[in-house]
């Protein structure tokens, strides 16, 4: 089937009380690995790319590869642009075939965040593309976005309700204590805050910083109302470590297929593990019925 908007996928996940894994990919093999994981577990899937990867590969290359993967697949797949503050890049991606985008103006004031998000929602609504926005500020490092602890800021539940009403945004990433990258200790997640936000807004909520959150805490996030979990760093590490392992065994290896195959297998396994935590096994049928 063709790529679908992430809106109906996430609405179905929210009402079904589970989460959908959204995985950042940087190469064709990474894209294939997460699609195979989704196929094998019959999970709905969101493939994501950062702005950095869009610039590295080209939005058309990524969108066409994701489209082929989706056409060959029996599970619903959405293609999402992660953290983007540039309206022009968002439009480029939508034109290339992305079915979901994030406008991240969380570093701006509340009013500017509302205005910028609203502008993207209006453009995206015309063609049925999902829009995600962020409120508060998620800490850590992702691509060239760096937010230190001092500037990380949790989202206020009443602000979330007001923001959704003012913008008409389809999905919301409220900062609730998770961070991008790998955690030094345990993440300090504010589960009550997730619950409060979920009780005030009816749209699906997005959990950023899904790398290395302990299993029990992921389950609590999903139970509290998170419908999408973003995972980036952990998957990059798994993929890269598998390649390093091949070169450790055979420094002379020069066939990319010889190191990409184990890397792809390792990533697929890690993605399946995240899908299990999300509770998305077998949920593809929810959407197809």
Where do contacts with Zn ion occur on this chain (CB under 5 A)?
208
Residue 231 Cβ vs Zn ion, minimum distance, rounded to whole Å: 10
* Alpha carbons 105 and 215: distance in angstroms, whole number: 30
Closest CA to 20 of 47, 46, 41: 46
Q: How far is the CB of 208 from Zn ion (least distance, A)?
A: 3
Nearer to Zn ion by Cβ, of 80 and 208: the residue is 208
Q: Catalytic site residue 82?
A: yes
Q: Strand (E) positions, the chain? A: 20-24, 45-49, 77-84, 100-103, 130-135, 139-142, 145-147, 171-174, 179-180, 205-207, 226-231
CB of 6 to Zn ion, least distance (A): 15
Q: Name the catalytic one among 82, 111, 144, 190.
A: 82
- If the CB atoms of residues 7 and 48 are measured against Zn ion, the closer one turns out to be 48
Of 42 and 85, nearer to Zn ion (C-beta) is: 85
3 state SS of 134: strand
Task: Identify which of 211, 137, 169 has the alpha carbon closest to the alpha carbon of residue 7.
Answer: 169
Angular region, 10: left φ>0, alpha ψ -120 to 50, beta rest: alpha
End-to-end CA distance of the chain: 14
Nearer to Zn ion by C-beta: 36 or 210? 210
- Residue 153's contacts (CB-CB under 8 Å, 6 or more residues apart) are 136, 137, 175
Instruction: Report in angstroms how near the CB of residue 181 gets to Zn ion at its nearest.
Output: 10
Beta bridge partners of 146: 141
The residues carrying an active-site annotation are 82
């Amino acid at each position: 089937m063709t790529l679908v908007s992430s809106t109906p996928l996430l609405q179905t996940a929210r009402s079904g009380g589970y989460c959908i894994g959204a995985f950042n990919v940087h190469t064709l093999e990474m894209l294939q690995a997460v699609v195979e994981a989704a196929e094998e577990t019959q999970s709905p899937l969101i493939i994501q790319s950062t702005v950095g990867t869009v610039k590295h590969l080209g939005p058309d290359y990524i969108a066409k590869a994701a489209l082929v993967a989706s056409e060959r697949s029996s599970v619903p797949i959405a293609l999402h642009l992660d953290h983007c503050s540039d309206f022009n890049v968002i439009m480029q991606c939508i034109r290339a075939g992305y079915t979901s985008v994030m406008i991240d103006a969380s570093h701006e004031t509340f009013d500017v965040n509302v205005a910028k998000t609203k502008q993207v929602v209006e453009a995206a609504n015309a063609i049925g593309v999902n829009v995600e926005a962020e409120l508060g500020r998620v800490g850590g490092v992702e691509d060239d976005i760096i937010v230190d602890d001092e500037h990380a800021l949790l989202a206020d539940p009443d602000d979330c309700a007001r923001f959704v009403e003012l913008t008409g945004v389809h999905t919301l990433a409220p900062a609730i204590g998770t961070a991008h990258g790998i955690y030094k200790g345990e993440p300090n997640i504010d589960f009550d805050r997730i619950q409060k936000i979920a009780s005030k807004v009816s749209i699906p909520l997005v959990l950023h910083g899904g790398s290395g959150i302990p299993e029990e805490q992921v389950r609590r996030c999903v139970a509290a109302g998170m419908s999408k979990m973003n995972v980036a760093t952990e998957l990059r590490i798994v993929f890269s470590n598998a390649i390093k392992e091949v070169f450790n065994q055979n420094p002379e290896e020069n066939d990319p297929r010889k190191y990409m195959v184990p890397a792809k297998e390792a990533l697929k396994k890690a993605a399946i593990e995240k899908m299990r935590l999300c509770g998305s096994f077998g949920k593809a049928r929810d959407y197809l019925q």
